[in-house]
Every structure is written in C-alpha cells, then in structure tokens.
Amino acid sequence: MRFWDSSAVVPLLVPEASSRRLQQVFRTDPVMMTWWAFLRVHPLRTADAVQLAAAFRAAEGRPASLEFVSLDERLAAAARIEGFPVVSA
C-alpha cells in the first residue's frame, strides 16, 4: 500500500505528462490510500475541514456515534449536516 497525494491521483484519471509513469507505479501496487475532506461540500477553512474529516474517521464513518464539540458555528453546522450530534455553548 502507498499513500497517494491528490496531485499524483489526478494523472491516473486525466492524461498528463506524468500519467504513464504513475500508471506503472499503480500497477505494481494497486492498493491506494489517500486523504479527503469536505471542502467541496461545506464552506470551511482547510484546518476546519481537516478537523471534520478527522472526526469522521474517528467515528469510523458513523458520525451519529460520536458527539462533536465545537464553538465554531460554521464547523458545527457542517458537522450537523454530516450527521454528528453537536455540543456547543
């Protein structure tokens, strides 16, 4: 297994100068790990998106199973949309 940054994944999907080389790398080990966040879904700053993604991972994909504590209204709203029970002041 390898960790693939999005800059290396894109050439697997869209023809670029590096596509052939990265396809060779992928063929030698097709198990891919990468990172994702909610930047397209929610109007969050990068650090907040990372927080939300980490919480989602900690909840093992079941956000209703983990309370999310935040005083940041934008982040709390995104967490609610994702299904976390939110605790705020």
Chain segment 33-81, per-residue pLDDT in tens = 876 657 567 878 888 888 888 899 999 989 999 999 999 999 999 999 9
One domain, residues 12 and 30: yes
61 and 86 together in one domain: yes
**φ, ψ for residue 80, nearest 5 deg:** -60, -45
Contacts with 17 (C-beta within 8 Å, 6 or more apart), sequence order: 11
State residue 15's pLDDT score: 92
According to the model, what pLDDT value does residue 47 have? 83
pLDDT value of position 39:
59
Q: What is the pLDDT of residue 20?
A: 95
pLDDT in tens, 41-50: 787 888 888 8
- What's phi and psi for 87, nearest 5 deg? -110, 125
Residue 31: give the domain boundaries: 1-35
Instruction: Check whether residue 27 and residue 48 sit in a common domain.
Output: no
